[in-house]
Amino acid sequence: MAKSSQATWGGRFSAGPAELMLQFSESVSFDRRLAPFDIAGSKAHSAMLAHVGLITKQERDAIHAGLDAILAEIAAGKFTWETKFEDVHMNIEQALTKRVPAAAKLHTARSRNDQVATDMRLFFKHACGVLQEKIRGAERALLAAAEANADVLIPGYTHLQRAQPVLLAHHLFAWLEMLERDRQRLAEVAAHANWCPLGSGAIAGTTLPIDREFTAKALGFVDAKGRPQVTQNSMDTVADRDVFIEFAAAGALFGVHASRIAEDLILWSSAEFKFIELPDAFCTGSSLMPQKKNPDSCELLRGKSARLQGNLHTLLTLAKGLPLTYNRDLQEDKPPVFDTFDQTAMCADVLAGTLGGMEVVRARCGAAVADPALLATDLADYLVMQGVAFRDAHHAVGAVVKLAETNGVALNALATADVQQVHAGFGDDWAQVFDLKRALTKRTGTGMPGPAQVKRQFARWRKILK
């Protein structure tokens, strides 16, 4: 059934949209969360219109008062959102027009195309800030776990096989590096968002004498020196969705990191490893097996990463192949962005909670890292220090490992005479290599897991996360 003509664009129509079309095309059900940004944009825009004399100061003040009242109503949950007004922009403009006659001038020199681009850039600047803080929360939980277990050693793994001993803190700091890159990436996305679209109009700007720099300044689209930053091509401005994609990519990559951390935690909390005990508050039980304590928060972190990647994929596919400039397809850009924001925020909080409540089972870590085979590489290095070429040393130690296996003894329990038979380079002090503390202390280079380096990293992270 046809509806009465739309108040905002209905002039050239003799019939309104079908009910089905309204349902199909509305976005207010999800873009209403842009209201605070939309209102900020409208206030800045009307301030600019008054500044250049396109509306009076009285009209500007009436528009501002009306927008403030609407924002308060929205915040209190008292605002009535109407599907028939399509989106957040027209809902607010319609409500304002009912209260303030001057609202009929608000859309002067503006289109919903530059309006929605502005709302979203404001949203991204806000969202990146929120997510950076939440990721910082997870980072702080990691640093606290490292502080509480600063002396704990574990095996490091490659191919999920025991490789070489490391301080647990070194492993946790590897996760910190990943999360810190995510935080930096979000800061870069926010910087890319920091250009004001207003004034680009629908596609070709306006014939009216507006002041884009004024609006940009009013909305905080400024550089470090406070100079306004406005987008440089009106067509690109209303077509561009790069920041959407970058934001989703930052979320997806954070998801990959969270998922990898979660996988380590799942392994470590299993009976086979038992390096850690996960907090009850972030685990669940089985409805059938009474003994089960499942690492659900970690499994969901792994699962959410798929969803975050999906959002990125949706946006890439949405933008691909669209002719310049704005096309209504682009309305579909918001649900994946909002979902990435919501899910990334929750993932960061859950990661912080899970890491914050994690208990390290020192005895199990100690038993695992006591495996002397973890120092086989150190034994090869020992031969290198005796002047043996590394390839020969590697081969000799391989033979020693095989001998230990054949004899059914630990690597460091072999008789010195037997070892010396394998290679004459082994001195009587060969077994000193298996002193774990000594082995770690020798790793002195930047980025290595030796105690002096790890101490430096503690200082670095305390400073970054203070």
Catalytic (active-site) positions: 159, 286
Give how far Cα 284 sits from Cα of 240, 265, 289, Å: 44, 15, 12
- Tell me if 112 contacts ligand ARG by CB under 6 A: yes
**Tokens of residue 60, six digits:** 């500007």
Q: Looking at this protein, which amino acid is placed at residue 83?
A: T
Q: Is residue 330 part of the contact set for ligand ARG (CB under 6 A)?
A: yes
Shorter beta-carbon distance to ligand ARG: residue 90 or 278: 90
Residues numbered 28 to 47 that lie near ligand ARG (CB under 6 A) are: 31
Q: How far is the CB of 331 from ligand ARG (least distance, A)?
A: 4
Whether 255 and 309 have beta carbons less than 8 Å apart is answered as yes
Stretch of residues binding ligand ARG (CB under 6 A), selected from 128-136, 184-192, 322-330, 423-431: 322-330
Rounded CA separation 254/331 (Å): 25
Closer residue to ligand ARG (CB): 87 or 378: 87
Q: Which residues pair with 335 in a beta bridge?
A: none
* Helices 242-269/296-319 angle, 10° precision: 160
Of 38, 207, 28, 39, residue with least CA distance to 108: 207
Q: Enumerate the H helices of 320-370 as residue ranges.
A: 334-356, 362-369
Q: How far is the CB of 334 from ligand ARG (least distance, A)?
A: 6
CB 295 within 8 A of CB 358: no
Alpha carbons 394 and 397: distance in angstroms, whole number: 5
**Shortest separation between residue 196's beta carbon and ligand ARG, angstroms:** 17
Closer CB to ligand ARG, 214 or 326, in the complex: 326
Taking the complex as a whole, the smallest distance from the CB of residue 101 to ligand ARG amounts, in Å, to 24
The residue whose two tokens read 């250049």 is 52
- Under a CB-based contact definition with an 8 Å cutoff, are residues 423 and 396 in contact? yes
Distance, CA of 331 to CA of 327 (rounded, Å): 8
What does the block give as tokens for 142?
Answer: 């990691």
Most distant CA pair in the chain, distance: 102
Taking contact as CB under 6 A, which single stretch among the options 138-146, 257-265, 326-334, 356-364 is the one that binds ligand ARG? Answer: 326-334
Residue 26 interacts with ligand ARG (CB under 6 A): yes or no = no
**331 or 453, CB closer to ligand ARG?**
331
SS3 208: coil
CA distance 372 to 462: 33
Number of residues that bind ligand ARG (CB under 6 A): 10
Cα–Cα distance for residue pair 137/353, rounded to 1 Å: 9
**Which residue's CB is nearer to ligand ARG, number 87 or number 246?**
87
Give whichever of 117 and 301 is closer to ligand ARG, judged by the CB atom.
Answer: 117
Minimal distance, residue 95 CB to ligand ARG, in Å: 16
Please, which of residues 114-133 interact with ligand ARG by CB under 6 A?
116
For residue 117, the minimal CB distance to ligand ARG (Å) is 9
Residue with Cβ nearer ligand ARG (117 or 355): 117
What is the nearest approach in angstroms of ligand ARG to the Cβ of residue 26? 9
Handedness of CA 362, 367, 373, 375 (dihedral sign): positive
Gyration radius (Cα) of the chain, Å: 31
Instruction: Give min distance, CB of 116 to ligand ARG, in A.
Output: 4
The DSSP 8-state label assigned to residue 360 in this structure reads: E
Q: Which is nearer to ligand ARG, 36 or 279 (CB)?
A: 36
Give the footprint of ligand ARG on this chain (CB under 6 A): 27, 31, 87, 112-113, 116, 326, 328, 330-331
